[in-house]
Structure 1
Amino acid sequence: MQGFDTYRDLEAKQQPVWNDEKTLNGVLSQLSTQPPLVFAGEADVLKSRLAAAARGEAFLLQGGDCAETFEAATADKIRDRVKTLLQMAVVLTYGASMPVIKVGRMAGQFAKPRSSDTETRDGVTLPAYRGDLVNGYDFTEESRTPNPERLLQGYHVSASTLNLIRAFTQGGFADLRLVHDWNKGFISNPVNQRYEALAAEIDRAVRFMMACGVDFGALERTEFFVSHEALLLEYERQLTRTDSRTGDIYDTSAHMLWIGERTRDINGAHVEFLSKVKNPIGVKLGPTTKLDDALRLIDKLDPEREPGRLTFITRMGAGKIRDVLPGLLEGVRDAGALPLWVTDPMHGNGITTPNGFKTRRFDEIMDELKGFFEAHREVGTYPGGMHVELTGDDVTECLGGAENIDELALEARYESVCDPRLNHRQSLELAFQVAEELKRRH
């Protein structure tokens, strides 16, 4: 991989300060010899699927935890996250009559950018929590000191998570004939009842096709890909491999990697690093993004205009998306580029309640989603997907939705270590509303 490490000469933002250089070098050396977590061929398949979405022939559903934790990498929690995404995908597929590409923020979303390097409580200042890949959430010096051995632990937790995901999605759990079973264990409510009604419709359609002699082998399994923000560059570097088939370079830590709003500097290390790998790449674009920013990112990350290579994930905020996004869509289209456009309606709509909880309002999340679709209808481009933070658990972290979570209810089950996530019911409710928007697209 001669010439690959040019990123090391550039500024790498949001990197932890590792005080134990000897341990760090030993861990990185071990990581470099570990098997790949994903394979180049799988990343290529995802790229072809994303190319279809960019042409308006499919829709990307990308979702999962804001920040995964090692503690929450249990079989039940992984199953419920996968199950929630499968249910959302069924709602979108059946409601909008189009293929849905399922990509989890899973098996690697263990590092988070922070607005400050430190956190102060009661006069005590410690390093900020940067995700389980770096340090612990507990506010103690031992926990908050960046520990290189967590990098190796993160690799192994990612591997076991991927192993379970593959078992669920390839071993019969994702069989469309079991859509009712996916709802078991979730609390009964109007949104779940609406899902049950949809599942009944699918049952009838399946029985009709079975009577007609249709082979249902393809329904027994489903494609499911994983993604995370490529934040810790030395971790990503150790999992970068040369494909023996083609000689191309892939980051084998995930099928798809993205660059955050804080690290998308065109002259920075993150953009340089990901410009060299062949995976599908995403870039978060906030409300201050100029057309020139987008065009320069396209030239750097996708100079050959490869279909499915580049995804722009917009995170504008409900109050700004209708003003900012149409101009970007128009300018990129007129420049002859065809990236996949995806909305992240979560990160631009954060608020803090008087009792100190970081949260988001479901109505504002939905408003940004609607603004995303309106902007594409205005310009005549394709709204290609959504990127949401969610969990399969019945947490109370986002306000509103059909269950009408209020500020007092946030205290009941607020479990996120970083940003608030949609719970299972809110996620399904969102899917039904997005399916309606997709129907309008045709």
Structure 2
Amino acid sequence: MGVTAAETPRGDTPRTETPLTAPGEILHTGAAEYPGLDTWRELPLKQQPDWQNHPDFDSAFEQLSANPPLVFAGEVDKLKRRLARVAEGEAFLLQGGDCAETFKDATADRISAKVKTILQMAVVLTYGASLPVVKMGRMAGQYAKPRSSDMETRDGVTLPSFRGEIVNDFDFTEEARIPDPKRMVTAYHKSASTLNLIRAFTEGGFADLRAVQQWNKGFMENPAHARYEQIAGEIDRAVKFMDACGVEFEGLKRTEFYTAHEALLLDYERALTRIDSRTGHPYITSGHFVWVGERTRDLDGAHVDYMSRIRNPIGVKLGPTTTPETVLALIDKLDPHREPGRLTLISRMGAKNIRQKLPPLVEAVRDSGAKVVWVTDPMHGNTITAQNGYKTRRFDDIMDEVRGFFEVHAAAGTYPGGMHVEMTGDDVAECLGGSDVIDESAFDARYESLVDPRLNHKQSLELAFLVAESLTRVT
């Protein structure tokens, strides 16, 4: 049962570790009162569409507030315990998925391809680290994107920027670019469909370790990937050994898979916030894990304030201008009780900055005694414009930033806990390089992303093999 608004606590509630809530537990509506939960509305709020006066805003918000949660408190708390193990150096976190999901790509084929690629990467990383890998998709909610400018100009015409399909449409027309709050409802239903498929895939035999290793064999058949033959062969022998011994356990046949997205659109997140009927704590139920981006992590801003009040594990992106003082202040604001698994710091420095800009942050956090998860995002700091005008990234730069991330943590005596990549399970051409080389000539035919370039299936798996080599040295 959920609590009523009258039963919702009105005094300060201590933030102790929340007990596991049953997966089917119903949480109260997003309109429930909770002390301070709406303080964000009075604070500086960035990267939001101008739709508060739209005639459909109130009805869209009310509909979302009444809809069932997409995830449950018990699942969220379980993820927090898994991330606590990452913070202790006992597991590794893999986050991967689209830069910006699209409504038309919420299909069984596209979703299964992404899940399949993440599972393949996880098998390789698990072997390299000899540690469990927490698998998390940038899926079932990654529909909003921050933009560097509120307006976009083409051929003398200026229109509102595209902010993801949860806000407006990519087509460059006046009608398409009008922010429409009904799109939040569409995003909710697309996310629900995606989650249903993810749960079916990961619980129904699709994620069987033996099947995943068979997929990897297809990757190894390409001569371009011969350098990874040793690791692939060792994994294959390990799987065959377990099969020969008659090993049968749940971890072999199914896996945990969590969803994550940037909590950018606070109207959407607030409408999908629910109060746990057992503990009285607020949870964002649009996804298991949410993060605050580089453009919205202001200490006195609305996004950081809202994230400080919800119980999900959360992340914060840290770019090259971040100072040690800022990081420590963010920890105090977002994880004041130093709760294991609560806070993940995601560095996005760029390959040219990682070895100079990250060490002071890592050392400051280490010396403070805070127990966070450190993750590298090697994508966003390495975006360039190709000669033919496409936004792209070089595979070598991405890998160089990952290597730099490991080097920094090795020097500081801290644990490099994970990797956050923009990738797809499809055969797109958006990032340059890789053993099976992608060059600019392929962009016209195979560039599909509406915002930022992603690693394709082969590049993603190659990255996993290269990182596995680094993990072998770390662990």
Cα contact 1:48–1:308 (8 A) shared by 2: yes
Moved more, 411-420 or 201-210: 201-210
Once the two structures are superposed, residues 210-255 of structure 1 have per-residue CA deviations (whole angstroms, 9 ceiling, x without a partner) of 4434333331110000000000101000100011122111000000
Q: 1:287 aligned to 313, 320, 330, which one?
A: 320
Cα contact 1:396–1:423 (8 A) shared by 2: yes
Cα contact 2:99–2:451 (8 A) shared by 1: yes
Once the two structures are superposed, residues 379-403 of structure 1 have per-residue CA deviations (whole angstroms, 9 ceiling, x without a partner) of 1000000000000011110011112
Residue 41 of structure 2 aligns to a residue in which SS? helix
Q: Does 1:209 pair with 2:242?
A: yes
Mapped partners of 1:385, 1:202: distance in 2: 21
Q: 1:308 aligned to 336, 341, 360, which one?
A: 341
| Paired position in structure 2 for 1:253 | 286
| Paired position in structure 1 for 2:43 | 10
Using the TM superposition, give the Cα deviation of residue 179 of structure 1 relative to its aligned residue in structure 2, in angstroms.
2.1
| Paired position in structure 1 for 2:358 | 325
| Paired position in structure 2 for 1:226 | 259
| Paired position in structure 2 for 1:264 | 297
Q: Does 1:339 pair with 2:372?
A: yes
Structure 2 runs not aligned, ≥5 long:
1-33
Mapped partners of 1:89, 1:371: distance in 2: 21
**1:401 is matched by which residue type in structure 2?**
G
Cα contact 2:224–2:436 (8 A) shared by 1: no
Mapped partners of 2:47, 2:173: distance in 1: 21
Change (3 A) 1:186 1:94: closer
Change (3 A) 1:385 1:198: same
How many residue pairs are counted as aligned between the two chains? 442
| Paired position in structure 2 for 1:158 | 191
| Paired position in structure 1 for 2:131 | 98
Q: Does 1:83 pair with 2:77?
A: no
**1:67 is matched by which residue type in structure 2?**
A
**Length-normalised TM-score, structure 1:** 0.96
Mapped partners of 1:439, 1:191: distance in 2: 22
Mapped partners of 1:180, 1:431: distance in 2: 14
Mapped partners of 2:45, 2:188: distance in 1: 21
Using the TM superposition, give the Cα deviation of residue 95 of structure 1 relative to its aligned residue in structure 2, in angstroms.
2.1
Once the two structures are superposed, residues 306-354 of structure 1 have per-residue CA deviations (whole angstroms, 9 ceiling, x without a partner) of 0000000000011111001111111111111111100000000110012
Mapped partners of 2:86, 2:94: distance in 1: 11
Residue 317 of structure 1 aligns to a residue in which SS? coil
Q: Please report the RMSD computed on the Cα atoms of aligned residues, expressed in angstroms.
A: 1.8
- Write the mapping of 1:32-431 to structure 2, written as runs, cut at 5 A: 32-182=65-215, 189-190=222-223, 201-431=234-464
Mapped partners of 2:134, 2:127: distance in 1: 13
Using the TM superposition, give the Cα deviation of residue 92 of structure 1 relative to its aligned residue in structure 2, in angstroms.
0.5
Mapped partners of 2:469, 2:233: distance in 1: 19
Using the TM superposition, give the Cα deviation of residue 408 of structure 1 relative to its aligned residue in structure 2, in angstroms.
2.2
Using the TM superposition, give the Cα deviation of residue 55 of structure 1 relative to its aligned residue in structure 2, in angstroms.
1.1
Mapped partners of 1:10, 1:191: distance in 2: 53
Using the TM superposition, give the Cα deviation of residue 94 of structure 1 relative to its aligned residue in structure 2, in angstroms.
1.3
Once the two structures are superposed, residues 387-433 of structure 1 have per-residue CA deviations (whole angstroms, 9 ceiling, x without a partner) of 00000011110011112222222223011000000000110110011
Cα contact 1:398–1:410 (8 A) shared by 2: no
Cα contact 1:18–1:148 (8 A) shared by 2: yes
Cα contact 1:191–1:429 (8 A) shared by 2: no
Using the TM superposition, give the Cα deviation of residue 434 of structure 1 relative to its aligned residue in structure 2, in angstroms.
0.4
Change (3 A) 1:200 1:398: same
Structure 1 runs not aligned, ≥5 long:
none
Residue 306 of structure 1 aligns to a residue in which SS? coil
Residue 134 of structure 2 aligns to a residue in which SS? strand
Cα contact 1:129–1:137 (8 A) shared by 2: yes
| Paired position in structure 2 for 1:433 | 466
Change (3 A) 1:206 1:188: closer
Mapped partners of 1:215, 1:184: distance in 2: 22
Change (3 A) 1:196 1:221: farther
| Paired position in structure 1 for 2:4 | none
Residue 141 of structure 1 aligns to a residue in which SS? coil
**Length-normalised TM-score, structure 2:** 0.90
Residue 320 of structure 2 aligns to a residue in which SS? coil
